[in-house]
Structure 1
Amino acid sequence: MKVESRSIEYIPPEERHGKASDLFPIWFGANMHITTLVTGALPITLGLNLFWSLVAIVIGTLIGAIFMASHSAQGPQLGIPQMIQSRAQFGVIGAIFPLFLVMFVYFGYFASSGLLAAQTLSSLTSMDQTYSILILNAICFAVTIFGYQFIHKMQKVLSWTTLVAYFIATILVFQLSIPAGSWNVGHVNIAQFLLAISMVATWQLAYAPYVADYSRYLPVTTPTSYTFWYSYAGTAIGTVWMMSLGAILTTAIPKFLDNSGSNLAHLFGKFAIIMFLVILFGQLAINVFNLYGAFMSTITTIEPFMKLKVTAKVRVIMIFAVTVIGTILCLLGKSNFLSFFLNFIFFMSYFLIPWTAINLVDYYLLRHGKYNVKDIFDPNGQYGKVNMITCIAFLLSILAEIPFINASFYVGPFAKAFDGADLAWAVGLVVPAVSYYYPMKKKLNSSQTNLEAQENIS
């Protein structure tokens, strides 16, 4: 298997390959793991019963996947990674601002998925959890070095493996006894329900900063609708399936979340070892995604300041560095995983949602997918070093979200007024979309007018 030679640069037409349907197993497999399952348990921990938890999971997934798949559709058209494309909105230097925030997404999910994998391995082997973390992260490091092609092949294997394993698991789960009242539709706490939808939608939004990284090698002739729907279907089906299992298991098995991997595997009785291996494979696969994304973001951050040639040696060094950082976070968070994970999801949503709104408004409503890729890599090009319109809109939207936040670390005045309902996600979509669209449209129209005037003079 050859190590990937490309990093953040444009993929030329002659190197494009594959078809849109390849994206389905990528994003189906990306959700078929214990971290997704545990996320599905969170609505139950908020206080919702099983019925309303499942409704929140379906609604949150269907909404969040729209944004995720809309980002994926950019890949074949531009041939560059998602966060590099953000330079067209923020400026070549200004894009470092959201990049730092996105790095927290990668490391947070790497730590949480790594902790669940280590917990599962320790249950299987009685190995100390610290050693489990080190061994599993070392494997992720080795796989990530090979890059795009190897990850695609690994995800195809994972998709078929998990499809069979979790189909059997689903049959076993539906045989469990569910407490009375779990399916009661007569009463729902609206605040908890909205909060659960926000958490589930954030799961999809967490893919947005790197989803186009896995579609950028597709031929430019790939229909946008194909890229969108294969990505959407893969992520939505995998997410709803796994999160629903998580909600049901948490309802049916007392203290299921204390050791989710082990509790799930033991449903298979004497065949538990098979499920243990499937769980470990799934966790390794998603953490390879996280490491690959962290590596790409690191390169994107450094590139404007030093024209770094990403040789095989540089690739190994940088992936090793991000692995070390992620491993440290794993070790720090192992004693209070659930609290760490819950707060992490809440915190990141307040930054991811405004970023995705700005990016999609720019791509679909303002520029209609037409960008000068060469200038995206040039601080002196048409996108400039820093776009103050974008940076102000981004900061303004984050400030606007604060009064609507309902999290363990802070509850805003509007959240209190609405009985605890967290509406920050809605604010984080509307405010940046409006505050970016109108000033940027005016700027683009002015630039076009000036360009036409210069052409008339010449």
Structure 2
Amino acid sequence: MGKSVRKDQRLTVEKRTIDVVPDAERHGTPHSQFTLWFGANMQITAIVDGALAVVFGADALWAIIGLLIGNLLGGVVMALHAAQGPRLGLPQMISSRAQFGVRGAAIPLLLVILMYLGFAATGTVLTGQAINKILGVDVPAVGILIFGALTAIVAIFGYRLIHLIGRIATVTGIIGFAYLAGCLFVKYDVLQHLNVISFEMPTFLLAIALGAGWQLTFGPYVADYSRYLPRETPESRTFWSTFAGSVIGSQCAMSLGALVAAVAGKAFLADQVGFIGQLAGPAAIAIVLYLVIVVGKLTVNVLNAYGGFMSALTAVTAFRSRTSVSPITRGIYIIGFVVVSMLIALVASADFLDNFRNFVLLLLMVFTPWSAINLVDYYLISKERIDIPALYDAQGRYGAWNVRALLVYALGIVVQIPFLAQKLYTGPLTELLGGADISWLVGLLITALLYYFVARRTSRPPAQMIYPEDN
């Protein structure tokens, strides 16, 4: 018994992909979800996200309150997805076949892959700068290639190493960002920059949207990392561990970002990595903080690569009726994804990356209706009863294409357009709201209601959960 446990705990290359994780391979506790999502959120991009609320005109105090509300609201949606993992034993996006059809699920999947690539590319550029500062070189390609290689290695090893990196990122993030917060209060009179701008509803709603949007983006990720938990794991424990890790980690980082923006303004946004180094003080300490940045960004970039290959595999296998692939094929998918993200980071101009990032942020509107449909179906329509073998059979219970669900999904995207407030496009109703972006809330509520009434009449869930071994 002792030898089997030690063998189970060894760091080996993960062999599971989009297939169900058997009970014999289940392990771990919900605590692992807390450290993973805390580490993934306690990173420099979350700091930038919090800073944007102040840059766009909110008072730092009201920005922090708004970000908290947004993180709490979005975190509920995000954690409800995570709670599906132990019961289904499946990666997140494969479960979308129950709503959209085995092949119809490829439509939101393609947009999800594009999001993964965009976030991976922009994150690679940022972290490449930190690596170059550590090495003392001024060739962007050096840091980008090193970071890409690290990302590929961790993603290929998979689940266990990803969670290990998450635990490391949690520890380094707490120490590193606590030190930065201390430096900020020592070097600046932070309290003098709080509550200096009167409350304004548009900027307050913007802060809420930034927090909620950040959490909603993780919807396609989360069950990938909870699916190995034992099947009998209480959903409430998975929910609260994921929720707490993601919300606390992101709120700490975003609050620091709001304070930094309040005292330093555009100096931070112009060179986020450089500003962190200057704030840290002595060169040796700055290098340590750059390492903290690298570890934090590595955690979330691995999630992009891992989720990107899983989503691509889910889309491709829908047309080939496969339930698993070989480790070599898995490695090819991951390396291919990382190479594409590095190429974007290497060849793109600064303007292109900025525009591409804005385009990716615009794509966030596709995840809100997807979340609404997935959660309403799982918790209210199917009531946690899924025919898992049918998810791999286009002739089975869920069919190849669920046109009704796809139409609701499209409508869920369209209804958000008048409420958008993005750099690429601002909706007409947004101006009436003073520039506040409430598109995510509109998309979530309308899509949930539409799908519920449509699916209640057309859905055919099984009488109980059907696992492969039950067939």
Pairwise same-fold verdict (TM > 0.5): yes
Find 2:70's aligned residue among 60, 66, 82. Answer: 60
- For residue 377 of structure 1, what is the aligned residue in structure 2? 392
Number of positions where the alignment pairs a residue of Structure 1 with one of Structure 2 = 448
Deviates more, 1:200-209 or 1:162-171: 162-171
Whether the aligned pair in 1 keeps the contact of 2:308 and 2:337 (CA below 8 Å) is yes
- For residue 26 of structure 2, what is the aligned residue in structure 1? 16
- For residue 274 of structure 2, what is the aligned residue in structure 1? 262
Deviates more, 1:87-96 or 1:322-331: 322-331
Please say if 1:241 is aligned against 2:256: no
Whether the aligned pair in 1 keeps the contact of 2:118 and 2:357 (CA below 8 Å) is no
Gaps of 5+ in 1: 450-458
Whether the aligned pair in 1 keeps the contact of 2:58 and 2:197 (CA below 8 Å) is no
- For residue 301 of structure 1, what is the aligned residue in structure 2? 315
Give the AA of the match of 2:47. Answer: L
Please say if 1:74 is aligned against 2:89: no
Give the AA of the match of 1:115. Answer: V
1: CA distance, partners of 2:95 / 2:462? 21
Give the AA of the match of 1:299. Answer: L
Deviates more, 1:185-194 or 1:4-13: 185-194
SS of 1:422's equivalent?
Answer: coil
Cα displacement (A) at 1:324: 1.6
How does 1:37-48 map onto structure 2 within 5 Å? 37-48=47-58
Give the AA of the match of 1:302. Answer: V
Find 2:101's aligned residue among 67, 82, 91. Answer: 91
Cα deviation 1:83-141 (Å, max 9, x = unaligned): 00000000000000110111122112112211210122233323311322122112211
- For residue 453 of structure 1, what is the aligned residue in structure 2? none
Cα displacement (A) at 1:185: 6.5
Deviates more, 1:23-32 or 1:115-124: 115-124
Give the AA of the match of 1:233. Answer: A
2: CA distance, partners of 1:337 / 1:119? 17
Cα displacement (A) at 1:344: 4.0
Please say if 1:117 is aligned against 2:127: yes
- For residue 105 of structure 1, what is the aligned residue in structure 2? 115
Cα displacement (A) at 1:252: 1.8
2: CA distance, partners of 1:297 / 1:448? 25
SS of 2:416's equivalent?
Answer: helix
Deviates more, 1:16-25 or 1:188-197: 188-197
TM-score, length-normalised on structure 2? 0.90
Deviates more, 1:49-58 or 1:93-102: 49-58
Give the AA of the match of 1:405. Answer: L
Cα displacement (A) at 1:264: 1.3
2: CA distance, partners of 1:141 / 1:79? 24
2: CA distance, partners of 1:311 / 1:230? 32
SS of 1:70's equivalent?
Answer: helix
- For residue 409 of structure 1, what is the aligned residue in structure 2? 424
TM-score, length-normalised on structure 1? 0.93
2: CA distance, partners of 1:258 / 1:332? 21
Find 1:425's aligned residue among 440, 447, 452. Answer: 440
- For residue 469 of structure 2, what is the aligned residue in structure 1? none
Please say if 1:35 is aligned against 2:45: yes
2: CA distance, partners of 1:60 / 1:132? 33
Give the AA of the match of 2:258. Answer: A
2: CA distance, partners of 1:333 / 1:203? 25
1: CA distance, partners of 2:432 / 2:402? 36
2: CA distance, partners of 1:292 / 1:398? 26
Give the AA of the match of 2:233. Answer: T
Deviates more, 1:221-230 or 1:171-180: 171-180
Whether the aligned pair in 2 keeps the contact of 1:397 and 1:428 (CA below 8 Å) is yes
Distance 1:444 1:313, change over 3 A: closer
Deviates more, 1:423-432 or 1:384-393: 423-432
Seq. identity, %: 39
- For residue 398 of structure 1, what is the aligned residue in structure 2? 413
1: CA distance, partners of 2:83 / 2:156? 25
Whether the aligned pair in 1 keeps the contact of 2:114 and 2:360 (CA below 8 Å) is no
Which consecutive aligned stretches of 4+ in structure 1 deviate over 6 angstroms post-superposition?
A: none
Cα displacement (A) at 1:181: 6.6
- For residue 335 of structure 1, what is the aligned residue in structure 2? 350
- For residue 299 of structure 2, what is the aligned residue in structure 1? 285
- For residue 152 of structure 1, what is the aligned residue in structure 2? 163
Distance 1:73 1:179, change over 3 A: closer
2: CA distance, partners of 1:86 / 1:263? 42
Give the alignment's Cα RMSD to 1 decimal: 2.0
Cα deviation 1:1-30 (Å, max 9, x = unaligned): 311111010011111111111111011111
Cα displacement (A) at 1:74: 0.3
Cα deviation 1:130-156 (Å, max 9, x = unaligned): 322122112211221101111111211
Cα displacement (A) at 1:354: 0.7
Cα displacement (A) at 1:331: 2.7
Cα displacement (A) at 1:266: 2.9
Cα displacement (A) at 1:43: 0.6
How does 1:120-199 map onto structure 2 within 5 Å? 120-124=130-134, 125-178=136-189, 182-184=193-195, 187-199=198-210
SS of 1:86's equivalent?
Answer: helix
Deviates more, 1:374-383 or 1:149-158: 149-158
Distance 1:202 1:345, change over 3 A: farther
2: CA distance, partners of 1:340 / 1:213? 29
